[in-house]
């Protein structure tokens, strides 16, 4: 019943909500268009840049855009491990430099991916000059990372309000949020170990021996980072403890803490 006392036909409000929702065909057309735009560089890379690794660089960042949730820190956990340990596009110290550069400069933290793409293109340039390959790799990383945002905005935004009250989707997002906390913790441990220790090995329980003398891989394998205590960087440890003291005890802001740590680190490197 309406406010003026007149009777409203049953289902009128529901049909109005349905009419306001976008047509399904239009949604699929929008989704298809932006997916084509997103993956447009892939075919030319396969055809004209087969001698370099640019297709693999673009494919890696495309996969990264699909499987990472939770913001830049969750993205960096995946990129740091795969780009450094699997593809060897960067060394751990170079990844740390990229994170420090992204943290201390204006702009979103996820821009560090263009830095990773630059070094990947620089080292996978093929017949292209390395610097030009680095520029191309950085552009590919930015394209593969940011264009999917338009897919979600134009194809998914009209349904956001309808999905907010869906209990199944809310439960799934809560589970993803819990998983992201663990991913960020993993990133913190990875970066901390490579900042404090010059050498970090891997300790593996029941390593896989598949393919050797017909042996099969075990159904379970455990691998953990194992830092070398002899390579501990005392200066980095002091700066880390000082930064933690400033943030958690003195309640100083992130900006002031970064400035103090950067100034002390620069002074140490100039004196030593």
Per-residue confidence (pLDDT) for residue 52, from 0 to 100: 64
Overall pTM surpassing 0.75 (yes/no): no
d(CA 147, CA 154): 11
Q: Would you state the pLDDT for residue 246? A: 95
- Which residues make Cβ contacts (< 8 Å) with residue 247, sequence separation at least 6? 254, 257
Instruction: Judge contact between 206 and 222, C-beta under 8 A.
Output: yes
**Inter-CA distances, 5 with 8, 16, 41, 229, Å:** 9, 20, 60, 80
With H, G, I as helix, E, B as strand and everything else as coil, classify residue 222.
strand
Res 17: pLDDT: 46
Chunked mean pLDDT (size 10), the chain, 272 residues: 52 46 80 90 77 84 80 81 88 87 80 92 86 92 89 81 77 81 84 90 67 56 83 93 94 90 91 86
Task: Tell how far CA 264 is from the center of its chain.
Answer: 29
pLDDT at 1: 52
The whole-number pLDDT of residue 249 equals 95
pLDDT of residue 11: 46
Q: How far apart are CA 197 and CA 240, in angstroms?
A: 13
């Amino acid at each position: 019943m309406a406010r003026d006392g007149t009777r409203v036909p049953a289902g009128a409000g529901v049909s109005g909500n349905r009419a306001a929702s976008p047509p399904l065909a239009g949604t699929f057309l929008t989704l298809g268009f932006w997916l084509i735009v997103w993956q447009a560089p892939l075919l030319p890379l396969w055809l004209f840049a087969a001698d370099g690794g640019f297709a693999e660089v673009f494919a890696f960042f495309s996969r990264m855009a699909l499987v990472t949730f939770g913001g830049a820190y969750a993205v960096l956990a995946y990129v740091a491990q795969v780009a450094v340990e699997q593809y060897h596009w960067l060394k751990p110290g170079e990844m740390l430099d990229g994170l420090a550069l992204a943290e201390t400069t204006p702009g979103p933290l996820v821009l560090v991916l263009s830095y990773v793409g630059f070094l990947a293109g620089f080292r996978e340039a093929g017949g292209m000059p390395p610097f030009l390959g680095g520029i191309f790799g950085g552009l590919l990383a930015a394209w593969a990372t940011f264009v999917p945002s338009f897919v979600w905005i134009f194809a998914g935004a009209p349904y956001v309000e309808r999905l907010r009250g869906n209990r199944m989707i809310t439960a799934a997002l809560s589970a993803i949020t819990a998983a992201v906390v663990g991913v960020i913790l993993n990133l913190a441990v990875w970066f901390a170990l490579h900042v404090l220790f010059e050498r970090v090995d891997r300790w593996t329980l029941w390593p896989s021996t598949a393919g050797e003398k017909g042996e099969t891989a075990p159904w379970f394998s455990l691998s953990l980072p194992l830092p070398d205590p002899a390579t501990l960087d005392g200066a980095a440890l002091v700066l880390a403890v000082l930064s933690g003291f400033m943030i958690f005890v003195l309640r100083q802001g992130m900006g002031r803490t970064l400035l103090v740590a950067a100034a002390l680190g620069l002074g140490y490197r100039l004196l030593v």
